[in-house]
């Protein structure tokens, strides 16, 4: 756990330093229409905390004024298909979903919040008293709520941090709390 705290502290300090640098380089009108992100984090599936991996592609919904400064545009709507994965001692969970996000752009940091839905493909191993192991595969519908921020390190790259919770219908792990950090590539 101590290593996790050290890593998170280093990420926050690095993000702050890079944010200050990005604020100097920020160009007006550079809010991107698309973004691809890769993330790593932690998931607490009502049991031991496990590593979590994610990838997502974000694209803007609706029209927008490209001439206005990015931070003067108000809340922007994005759709974000995603894939996520975690594995524990007796269970794996692969998420395929889509999120609807509201993004509030500022000069060097963008804040976002949203909701989403997806399918959780779960494989569960059950160890019986006699030592035999049985495996089950099942799919469960899930919904999530999330919030986060993108810290711009350049016009094309941002560090992001997301906090979210997933509610998974009919699963042994019905609530999954997630904390994710990573890189977002903007274009």
User: Tens digit of pLDDT for each residue in 132-185?
Assistant: 778 889 999 999 999 999 999 988 999 999 999 999 998 666 899 999 999 999
Sign of torsion over alpha carbons 13, 15, 18, 22: negative
pTM above 0.85, yes or no: no
pLDDT tens, residue by residue, 97-141? 999 999 998 878 999 999 999 999 999 887 777 877 788 899 999
Structural domains in the chain plus CATH codes = 2-186 (2.40.160.20)
Q: What is the DSSP letter of 71?
A: G
Output the pLDDT for position 27.
Answer: 47
Mean pLDDT of the chain: 83
Residue 60 to residue 43: CA distance in whole angstroms: 28
CA proximity to 105, closest of 138, 45, 151, 59: 151
3-state DSSP assignment of residue 69:
coil
- Letter string b/e over residues 143-156, b meaning 16 or more CB atoms within 10 A of that residue's CB: ebebebbbbbbeee
């Amino acid at each position: 756990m101590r290593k996790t705290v050290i890593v998170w502290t280093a990420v926050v300090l690095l993000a702050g330093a890079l944010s200050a640098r990005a604020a100097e380089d920020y160009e007006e009108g550079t809010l991107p229409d698309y973004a691809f992100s890769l993330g790593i984090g932690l998931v607490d599936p009502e049991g031991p905390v496990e590593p979590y991996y994610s990838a997502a592609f974000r694209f803007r919904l609706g029209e927008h004024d490209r001439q206005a400064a990015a931070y003067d545009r108000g809340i922007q709507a994005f759709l974000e298909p995603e894939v996520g994965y975690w594995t524990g001692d007796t269970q794996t969970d692969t998420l395929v979903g889509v999120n609807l996000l509201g993004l509030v752009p500022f000069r060097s940091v963008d804040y976002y919040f949203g909701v989403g839905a997806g399918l959780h493909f779960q494989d569960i191993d059950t160890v019986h008293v006699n030592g035999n192991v049985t495996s089950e595969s099942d799919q469960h519908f899930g919904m999530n709520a999330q919030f986060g921020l993108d810290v711009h390190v350049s016009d094309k790259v941002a560090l992001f941090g997301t906090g979210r919770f997933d509610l998974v219908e009919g699963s042994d792990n019905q609530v999954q709390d997630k904390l994710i950090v990573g890189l977002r590539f903007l274009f």
